[in-house]
Amino acid sequence: MKNALLKLTAVFALILSVAACSTDEATINNNEAAEEQETLLARGSFWQGQLGVVNPDGSATLTVNPTAVKADLEAQLAAENNATVIRTVGIQYKKNINDNTDGTYALIGSNSSGTSIGILLTVRGSGLYLDGGSGSGSEGAGTSTTCRGCATGCNLSFVRIQGQKVFYCNENGCGEFCTKNESLF
């Protein structure tokens, strides 16, 4: 009788340990899935709102998570077959090449060695939002422009054509090594 009770206890302990391991693994997997879903929801939503603010001195400050912005810009570059690691991200004021009194803000990421990606922004109050095209101010839609070439040139520049803001890649001596790509963002 003692032997049967001992065997039954051992079997019961084995069943409990297997169940405990399975529960822990399922909890870990559920937590990872929830974190991934939360990250995707956050990335999908932060582009819909305010991305930065214009400071009293005219400079701009990014108000969203720069790590998430870098990750999204890197994903955009990978989708364009320009995979790279974004080292810096920020908001810059760009002057119109043809009219020094005209300018716009742009969110720009760079790998610091010849590739940059920019998205035009529009100002509403003191907030900065994605420019929905032609300076319309519609939020949540935009076009990214990627410039790739030599590290000393091929910079994102801005011009207004028939009232529309347009990014282009200023060769700055890079010549044929400077390439441009535009994608919906």
Q: Is the pTM of this model over 0.85?
A: no
- The predicted-structure confidence for 129-177, as pLDDT tens digits, reads as follows 998 753 334 445 678 899 998 877 788 999 999 988 898 998 887 878 8
Q: For residues 101 and 172, which has the higher predicted lDDT (pLDDT)?
A: 101
Q: Would you mind telling me the total number of residues written for the chain in this entry?
A: 185
164 in Cβ contact with 134 (< 8 Å): yes
Instruction: Report which secondary-structure segment, H or E, holds 39.
Output: helix 2-46
- Give bridge partners of residue 167 from the DSSP assignment: 158
